[in-house]
Chains A and B, each alone.
Chain A
Amino acid sequence: MRCLIVEDVDFEREMMEFFLADYAVTETACNGEDAVELFTRAVAEGRPYQLVCLDILMPKMSGQAALKKMRQAEAAGDPAHKAVIIMTTAMNSREDMEEALWQGDCTDYLVKPIILADLVALMRKYKLIS
């Protein structure tokens, strides 16, 4: 499984890599712009990500904006493939999350602090691992 971790805080990005090392080949981006670039290239080269962990509040381009662009990029590639995109955020209210979920067509979300077991459960739910 190929996974893209998008997170602007170095330590958190590193920990996400550590957590997911047993499950996926991970690549990272520290803002929305870089993430969209990596995602688009992966789609174009025919080796798309199966999982994207996408932070919402980031400088340059927000997670929501990146999500929209990723789904657009995806539409140009293999129609059978749709990445599992999990938004991760420190946003306070559930309403914010639901808005992100419905407006941007993300697959699911996790509210920080992130619990590894929850992340693993989501991967299982979306059949990324058995």
Chain B
Amino acid sequence: MPINEKLFRLLIDNAMVGVYIVDEEQLFQYVNPALTAMLGYTSEEVIGTFRFPSFIHPDDIPLLVHNYQQRLSGEIPSARYEARALHKSGRVVNIEIYGTYVDINGKRSLAGTVIDITQRVTAEQALEELNRTLEQRIATELALSREKDRMVMQQSRFAALGEMVAGIAHQWRQPLNMLGMSVQALQLAHGKGILTAEFMERHTEKSLEVLKYMSQTIDDFRNFFRPETAPRNFRLDEAVERVVVFFTSSVNTIAITTDVQNRATMCGHMNELSQVLLNILNNARDALLERQVEAPAIVVAVTRSDTANLIRVSDNGGGIPDELIDRVFDPFFSTKDAAKGTGLGLYMVKSIVEKSMKGTVTVRNTGTGAEFTITLPFPGADDCGVERKGEHT
């Protein structure tokens, strides 16, 4: 019907998709302007000269031939597939083809439509690439973060070890001086001819006493920093007293008092709490000595709220500057010289309290100084269970 043919011709010539008809020899019998524009040729160049595979990327020709033969043999009526075409300029055009077997005037032919999907494919590839690199980037960041955690952990251990060595060094300086003086006194007395048996006796006794003290110091430190494996029941106030005695033995210039209003028992590692308290006390000591506070004092209070056991450590060292107070628990944050502060003391406090004791630690300025509060919420493990009951009658 002439009207129909004219209408179809108009539609196909102006279609937004490429349209083609090829004969049995795969020679193009018709191509519409959309298809020629897609591939960069004119219809005159193509019709009767080019065969279908000429436009296809060599890698995709087997696929195309396969589909072509299937349709031509009537095995399948139509096929829809993607392939890569080559533009006249040589660039790759991603196309989607929908081809059908047709009978035109008794001749076996194939007709089909083609759309340019280059943009879609490019976008898909970009997305895929993005996903792949995103995964890679996340993996890299994660590895970096783990490495950082590991390093902080490692350095925390070193810091704890450093605390111990510094503590022993501090504790030993005095007895070493006494021993040294005793030895020199013997020499001096001998030189003067006044080295009596009594003098000798006294200095020997003194030296042995000092040596015993030094040996005891090592044991104390070893016990204090020894990691405990199994959790045990311990009384909060006893843990606090133990640390205060330990601290006082090395610092005799600061007045330290305890205010115990809560004798709760909790289950955990007493040495961890000891280390937390010692780090806070050392921090207070450094502030008090550095600022040369007139009558330096620290108060450790053990109390409770409706929901938690509380341990508060407050000093009269003037407090922490407002602009720094939010950062005191950050790893490697220190206001001290590199030689004096690792920046890990309060970080260790925070990680032990939060991770191991399931509590929180906060700091505020009281007006006269800093106040650290350790909150250990109920029902903290307040009893380690049956295996310990015999010891807590």
Q: A residues bordering B, Cβ < 8 Å? A: 8-9, 11-12, 15-16, 18-19, 57-59, 62, 64-65, 90, 92-93, 95, 112-116
A75 to chain B, nearest CB (A): 21
Q: Is B253 interfacial (CB-CB < 8 Å)?
A: yes
B169 touches A116 (CB 8 A): no
A90 touches B177 (CB 8 A): yes
Pick from A11, A18, A58, A112: contact of B173, CB below 8 A. A112
B253 touches A92 (CB 8 A): no
Stretch at the interface among B15-23, B107-115, B180-188, B359-367: B180-188
B292 touches A93 (CB 8 A): no
Interface residues of B in 38-93 (CB under 8 A from A): none
A93 touches B253 (CB 8 A): no
B180 touches A115 (CB 8 A): yes
Pick from B166, B169, B179, B292: contact of A113, CB below 8 A. B179
Query: In the assembled complex, which residues on chain A have CB atoms less than 8 Å from the CB atom of B179?
Result: 113
Cβ proximity bits B183-205 to A, threshold 8 Å, 1 near / 0 not:
01100100000000000000000
Most buried by B among A11, A18, A114: A11
B208 to chain A, nearest CB (A): 13
Query: In the assembled complex, which residues on chain B have CB atoms less than 8 Å from the CB atom of A113?
Result: 173, 176-177, 179-181
B296 to chain A, nearest CB (A): 9
- Interface magnitude class on chain B: 20 to 34
Query: In the assembled complex, which residues on chain B have CB atoms less than 8 Å from the CB atom of A15?
Result: 178, 181-182, 184-185
Most buried by A among B166, B170, B184, B294: B184
Interface of A is mostly: loop
Give Cα distance in the complex from A9 to B206, angstroms.
Answer: 13
A43 to chain B, nearest CB (A): 23
Q: Is B226 interfacial (CB-CB < 8 Å)?
A: no
Pick from A18, A59, A92, A112: contact of B188, CB below 8 A. A18
Query: In the assembled complex, which residues on chain A have CB atoms less than 8 Å from the CB atom of B324?
Result: none
A130 to chain B, nearest CB (A): 20
Give Cα distance in the complex from A8 to B252, angstroms.
Answer: 10
Query: In the assembled complex, which residues on chain A have CB atoms less than 8 Å from the CB atom of B188?
Result: 18-19, 116
Q: Is B283 interfacial (CB-CB < 8 Å)?
A: no
Q: Is B322 interfacial (CB-CB < 8 Å)?
A: no
Q: Is B132 interfacial (CB-CB < 8 Å)?
A: no
Cβ proximity bits B257-292 to A, threshold 8 Å, 1 near / 0 not:
000000000000000000000000000000000001
Pick from A16, A19, A59, A112: contact of B176, CB below 8 A. A112
B198 to chain A, nearest CB (A): 14
Q: Is B389 interfacial (CB-CB < 8 Å)?
A: no
- 7 A-B pairs besides A19-B188, A59-B253, A113-B181 with CB distance below 8 A are A15-B185, A16-B181, A58-B253, A64-B292, A90-B170, A95-B337, A112-B174
Query: In the assembled complex, which residues on chain A have CB atoms less than 8 Å from the CB atom of B184?
Result: 15, 19, 115-116
Pick from B180, B182, B292: contact of A65, CB below 8 A. B292
Interface residues of B in 224-269 (CB under 8 A from A): 252-253
A129 to chain B, nearest CB (A): 16
Pick from A8, A16, A62, A92: contact of B170, CB below 8 A. A92
